[in-house]
Amino acid sequence: MTINNLPKTILPLEKEVEAAVQGQRELASLLSTKFETQRIDIFDKEDKPHRLVLPTSALRLLVDILGELALGNAVKVVPVHAELTSQEAADLLNVSRPHLVKMLEEGAIPFTKTGRHRRVRFSDLMAFKQRRDEQSQEAMEALVQQAQELGMGYDG
């Protein structure tokens, strides 16, 4: 499954943003629990309640989704086993496709080839991104430390 096979991404409407702000607040306040599942009621078009039992982890993910919608962002859920094209992977890393291909060929990110086309697992791409972000943060902290030692006026 590539990202292109997933449902189309649509930006939330203003009333959806407002509902997301309220929903995120309320749901987040209810999820500080040790229980693995939660019961919620969903009402159908006849206003009849239907009780669902959902994993608390799924509801925490819903809080994150509502947070993004509250900011006016579109959200797309990507399964970790999804395979991305090199262009999709480059877009997620905010780099050019040729630069991504170079990183793939250098072994920085695992990939497979289907014919002439490279495919990158979403989970591998996110693991690389996390490592890269951690290295960037460590480098920034080292620069701040060095600036403090040299009396350059940075207070970190």
pLDDT beyond 60 at 20: yes
Query: Using CA of residue 31, residue 43, residue 75, residue 67, what is the dihedral sign?
Result: negative
Apex 11 CA angle, 96 and 4, nearest 5: 50
User: Of residues 13 and 62, which shows the higher confidence score?
Assistant: 62
Domain containing residue 62: 3-70
pLDDT beyond 70 at 1: no
**Can you give the pLDDT at residue 70?**
94
Shared domain for 61 and 94, answered yes or no, is: no
Binned at pLDDT 50, 70 and 90, residue 79 comes out as confident
**Can you give the pLDDT at residue 8?**
62
Residue ending a domain, among 48, 70, 92, is 70
Shared domain for 87 and 117, answered yes or no, is: yes
pTM equals 0.61
- Average pLDDT along the chain: 89
Binned at pLDDT 50, 70 and 90, residue 12 comes out as confident
**Can you give the pLDDT at residue 142?**
93
The 10s digit of each residue's pLDDT in 114-148 is 999 999 999 999 999 999 999 999 999 999 999 88
Distances from the Cα of 50 to the Cα of 41, 42, 61, 66, 116, angstroms: 5, 5, 21, 22, 50
Shared domain for 34 and 93, answered yes or no, is: no
- DSSP classification of residue 4: G
What CATH number is given to the structural domain containing 125? 1.10.1660
Q: Is residue 14 part of a domain?
A: yes
**Residues 42/52, Cβ–Cβ less than 8 Å:** yes
Shared domain for 55 and 105, answered yes or no, is: no
The listed range with the strongest mean pLDDT (6-20, 31-45, 96-110) is 96-110
